[in-house]
Structure 1
Amino acid sequence: MVSDSNRLVAKRYQLVRELGRGGMGVVWEGRDTLLNRQIAVKEVLLPEGMSRADQERLLMRTAREARMAARLSHPSVVAIYDVVEEDGRPWIIMELVRHPSVEEVVATSGALPVRQAADVGRQVLSALKAAHEVGILHRDVKPSNILLTDDGRAVLTDFGIAQSEGDASLTATGMVTGSPSFLAPERVRAAESGPASDLWSLGATLYATLVGRSPFERGDPMATLNALLSEEPDYRRIPPIMHPPLKGLLRKEAHERVDAEEADRLLAAVVAAKQPSNDRHEIEPRRRRRGSRGRTLVAAVAAVVVAVTGAGVAIFKFSDAAEGTPRITQQAATSPLPSVLPSAVSPSVTATPTPTVTRTRAAAVVRAWRSRDGWSIMRPVGWRGARKEAYTEWTRRDRAAHLGVEAVYAQIDPNQVARDSQESLRQNAPDLRVLRRKIVAHQGTKAVEQEFTYTAGAAGAAPWSTQGTRYREVQRVVAIGQTAYILSWTVTEARWRSDQRLMRQVISSFTVAT
């Protein structure tokens, strides 16, 4: 195995630096000294313990399929320039694409907006169709093998040469290869596989772009395979608009799966879905991720309402002192505001050209905000807001506090939703400490409320949070009809005592229209 840079492979391709390493390969940044261009070089490694005969078969197959893949010319396929043999194994010379993978984007920025995910799916599907037409199977479609360029191009890597790159993989007699989380059931059962197997992997990959992991990932290869063979995906956190393509691609029997044409039609319908009338303008969003919960935070916007159509994100900003705008204020010694604002009854408000806010711990300013999905909440005035599919959030200007409302679709147990949410947060906050968890009353409905503290880290942290700062968060899970709602209030430990009254007022005000 090569361990140093500047080595020449086949007396032509210079290895510059290592870009990535997996169980059966190392990818290098390289330079073609003959054509003087940058390239990527994949060094194929052989699994330990493999017999000599199996090694020879693997090497022959890799070289053969790489040469087949080199015939593909498609904008969503990383181009293969050459295949050479040195040290008794093949080296794949490829196009160098300097862009993050879908896996990296989701891990650092949060779940992809639904329409972007569907568009990525269509591009990858187009690449797969082109390959299948010439008899090439990918066999390892997964988020880490799809790159996203700045102009929205999705590029599928390791085409035709997938050999368990990255995390846990399978290697056994017969060489069943691929990442367990994204393998099609027929491949696990050693049944005959074909283009439908790649479509299954695409479905699992699209699921991961929206949730952060494969629908069958269980942390252990064998547990993952068992779930893949015997369990159905959990669609509770998948926006309903994406259910048809995912359910069509993730049917366990290959002959029941939608074909490439039908999958493309279903994904095209998601991309073309009509946007609400206030979702028209474009602005670059910044996304965050907390485990599988994709959330959006946006920089200051000049208008009252700004929207994102391509990314499916609606952005809104509310002024602290909008001239002539009614304000709802909480007085120091009065009862909390009603959680429901009847259309025929107006709450006590103050509407003046230059409203005055008393800056004391006893006074807090809130305003009713109604979601187009039928729920409402008294959100703090002056906090910046953003909406992304099933998640809505507001952030204090100094980033010391954050409010979120997440909709989880399906009639489910709020206790389980609370546990799942806690585990998702723990993935990015290993020092998370649970302070309490109990059943509470929320407007006549039983809800689950939990409180915990954690320290914000660098990887996967929210854009509004500060690395190394200790935060306290309260979550209340309310199940109403077919939807569970996760209400989260996060503040720095320094603000915890001063913000408790405001927190209680805001969370208790959450109401769903029936």
Structure 2
Amino acid sequence: MTNKDDLVAGRYRLVGRIGRGAMGVVWRAHDERLDRTVAVKLLSFDAALAGTEGGQADERVMREARLAAKLQHPNAIAVHDVVEHEGRPCLVLEYLPSESLSAVMAERGALPPDEVAKIGAQLADALAAAHEVGIVHRDIKPDNVLIAPDGTVKITDFGISKAIGDATMTSVGVIAGTPAFLAPEVAGGGKAGFPSDVFSLGATLYAATEGVPPFDFDDNTIALLLRVASGNIIPPRQAGPLAPMLIWMLRADPNERPTMRQAQEHLAKGKPPPHFQPRITATMTLPPPKPRRRGVLMSTMAILLVAIGLVVGLVINKSGNPQQPTGFPNALSPLPSSATAPPSVGCEAVYVITNSWNDGYQAEVTVRNSATHPLDGWTVTWTLPGGQKINDLWNGTLSQDGKTVRVAAAQWNGDVDKTTSFGFIAGTTGPNPVKPPVQCIAD
């Protein structure tokens, strides 16, 4: 058993415990040879049992040292040495007087978006450097983010990292990483790669602004893994101008996420790039759709009715500006929080702005079934106020004709017994966002 004041490798005097990583206990220690403070990571007994044999756990520690030695970056904790203590290898690490991001969140709660963006930019810079030398971290989470009093941020704990080309060190049937911060493809049993690190960083920053991870917590690990594997994140509500970046990093499809270097560049700017385009369908991968209840003929008739309704409703006056349908207020006039447009039979929509910032906002639209039978589909329409542009949409299919916006059901949420919802991020160059009147048309 290792205790305070023990001497490791004849030179590192243990002073006190400072934490526990994925592979062992971390001590603050004094290097008696160089007269400096270091961190010593000792392989724990539990970690030794994590592999099929103690030798595999030892090899993980050695691999962490080899990987970390390849990475020299001001935002990554450096490895000074690898030594042996009581027959087991130990890492001697840079000591950073700091708190973990998880400790900061526990003390302060959710953090301001601009502060989180600065934290994210530093982390992404270090992780981009790791990716450039072929290292995938695989366990990015608030516990592994250290924040110094001067604002310096460093990523630590490469204990389960993997260099591209190395044989995996995880046991058969074991998923490496922390479930709440895993990428969907990893939770589903796929291999971790550079895009999964981007997702985990996005999940970490999401947790810092929202107070919980994008899939929330669950004591049932299997249930949480299933939820993560679905990719169905809870849309951010407190992230302000950081929300579009988080949604970009948290794409369910790994090919649609930014690279870590792109993430770093745009986190430093506090916003996604100008070419960040709206999705044609949803940002989330959900279960397959239920069988449709009506035939193709009825669906075709519903589509024709939608088209006819839109043509009739959008009457162009002499000035060339669209007139609102009878009973609708001006689209640029703010509405009370509970206001909705007159619903069509069987379907109504409630539009709520859930978040806003200087040049954008986030909105959520709830579709309610007011009929006595389930809906087979729906389309929500509204006129987009001037100076506004939809940049990203989830849980629906977007089409737009000038300022006329139509959002139809996605494949999986067309059948509505009670309610469903979709959301979007919009940019604006005009005044504060206002709520336009919306109309829901049942298929």
* TM interval, short-chain normalised: 0.5 to 0.7
Match of 1:219 in 2: 218
Gaps of 5+ in 2: 163-169, 274-333, 338-353, 368-422, 425-433, 437-443
2:20 partner SS: strand
- Within a 5 Å distance, the mapping from 1:83-122 to structure 2 comes to 83-122=82-121
- The answer (yes or no) to whether the contact 1:162–1:178 under 8 Å persists in 2 is no
Q: Is 1:410 matched with 2:364?
A: yes
Match of 1:61 in 2: 60
- The answer (yes or no) to whether the contact 2:146–2:154 under 8 Å persists in 1 is yes
- The answer (yes or no) to whether the contact 2:245–2:272 under 8 Å persists in 1 is no
- The answer (yes or no) to whether the contact 2:242–2:271 under 8 Å persists in 1 is no
Letter matched to residue 78 of structure 1:
I
Match of 1:343 in 2: none
- Within a 5 Å distance, the mapping from 1:270-285 to structure 2 comes to 270=270
1:199 Cα deviation from its structure 2 partner: 0.9
- The answer (yes or no) to whether the contact 1:76–1:123 under 8 Å persists in 2 is yes
Q: Is 1:205 matched with 2:204?
A: yes
**TM-score with structure 2 setting the length:** 0.57
Query: Cα–Cα, structure 1 residues 267 and 181, in superposed 2: closer, same or farther, change >3 Å?
Result: same
Match of 2:9 in 1: 10
Query: Cα–Cα, structure 1 residues 52 and 58, in superposed 2: closer, same or farther, change >3 Å?
Result: closer
- Within a 5 Å distance, the mapping from 1:434-453 to structure 2 comes to none
Query: Cα–Cα, structure 1 residues 32 and 199, in superposed 2: closer, same or farther, change >3 Å?
Result: same
Q: In structure 2, how many angstroms separate the alpha carbons of the residues matched to 1:84 and 1:77?
A: 20
Letter matched to residue 232 of structure 2:
E
Query: Cα–Cα, structure 1 residues 79 and 189, in superposed 2: closer, same or farther, change >3 Å?
Result: same
- The answer (yes or no) to whether the contact 1:119–1:268 under 8 Å persists in 2 is yes
Q: In structure 2, how many angstroms separate the alpha carbons of the residues matched to 1:50 and 1:160?
A: 15
Match of 2:371 in 1: none
1:160 Cα deviation from its structure 2 partner: 5.2
Q: In structure 2, how many angstroms separate the alpha carbons of the residues matched to 1:229 and 1:238?
A: 24
- Within a 5 Å distance, the mapping from 1:131-142 to structure 2 comes to 131-142=130-141
1:194 Cα deviation from its structure 2 partner: 1.6
1:41 Cα deviation from its structure 2 partner: 0.9
- The answer (yes or no) to whether the contact 1:24–1:46 under 8 Å persists in 2 is no
Query: Cα–Cα, structure 1 residues 161 and 50, in superposed 2: closer, same or farther, change >3 Å?
Result: closer
Gaps of 5+ in 1: 164-170, 274-372, 377-388, 392-406, 414-481, 484-511
1:192 partner SS: coil
1:29 Cα deviation from its structure 2 partner: 0.8
Q: Alignment identity in percent?
A: 40
2:136 partner SS: coil
Query: Cα–Cα, structure 1 residues 110 and 135, in superposed 2: closer, same or farther, change >3 Å?
Result: same
Query: Cα–Cα, structure 1 residues 204 and 21, in superposed 2: closer, same or farther, change >3 Å?
Result: same
Q: In structure 1, how many angstroms separate the alpha carbons of the residues matched to 2:126 and 2:64?
A: 16
1:112 partner SS: coil
1:124 Cα deviation from its structure 2 partner: 0.5
- The answer (yes or no) to whether the contact 2:74–2:154 under 8 Å persists in 1 is yes
Query: Cα–Cα, structure 1 residues 24 and 52, in superposed 2: closer, same or farther, change >3 Å?
Result: closer
- Within a 5 Å distance, the mapping from 1:11-30 to structure 2 comes to 11-21=10-20, 24-30=23-29
- The answer (yes or no) to whether the contact 1:239–1:409 under 8 Å persists in 2 is no
Query: Cα–Cα, structure 1 residues 374 and 75, in superposed 2: closer, same or farther, change >3 Å?
Result: farther
Q: In structure 1, how many angstroms separate the alpha carbons of the residues matched to 2:271 and 2:254?
A: 25
- Within a 5 Å distance, the mapping from 1:179-258 to structure 2 comes to 179-220=178-219, 221-258=221-258
- Within a 5 Å distance, the mapping from 1:71-90 to structure 2 comes to 71-90=70-89
1:245 Cα deviation from its structure 2 partner: 1.5
Letter matched to residue 364 of structure 2:
A
Q: In structure 1, how many angstroms separate the alpha carbons of the residues matched to 2:223 and 2:257?
A: 24
Q: In structure 2, how many angstroms separate the alpha carbons of the residues matched to 1:143 and 1:129?
A: 18
- The answer (yes or no) to whether the contact 2:251–2:257 under 8 Å persists in 1 is yes
Letter matched to residue 228 of structure 2:
L
Letter matched to residue 43 of structure 2:
V
Q: In structure 2, how many angstroms separate the alpha carbons of the residues matched to 1:157 and 1:52?
A: 21
Provide, for residues 380-400 of structure 1, a one-character-per-residue CA deviation record: whole Å limited to 9, x for no partner: xxxxxxxxx969xxxxxxxxx
2:266 partner SS: helix
Aligned pairs, how many?
287
- The answer (yes or no) to whether the contact 2:84–2:90 under 8 Å persists in 1 is yes
Letter matched to residue 98 of structure 2:
H
Q: In structure 2, how many angstroms separate the alpha carbons of the residues matched to 1:272 and 1:224?
A: 29
Provide, for residues 33-81 of structure 1, a one-character-per-residue CA deviation record: whole Å limited to 9, x for no partner: 1111111111122437948754312321321231231232211011111
- The answer (yes or no) to whether the contact 1:215–1:233 under 8 Å persists in 2 is yes
Q: In structure 1, how many angstroms separate the alpha carbons of the residues matched to 2:53 and 2:186?
A: 19
Query: Cα–Cα, structure 1 residues 10 and 126, in superposed 2: closer, same or farther, change >3 Å?
Result: same
- The answer (yes or no) to whether the contact 2:52–2:171 under 8 Å persists in 1 is no
1:153 Cα deviation from its structure 2 partner: 1.5
1:181 Cα deviation from its structure 2 partner: 0.7
Q: In structure 2, how many angstroms separate the alpha carbons of the residues matched to 1:87 and 1:260?
A: 39
Letter matched to residue 209 of structure 1:
A
- Within a 5 Å distance, the mapping from 1:462-481 to structure 2 comes to none
- The answer (yes or no) to whether the contact 2:28–2:40 under 8 Å persists in 1 is yes
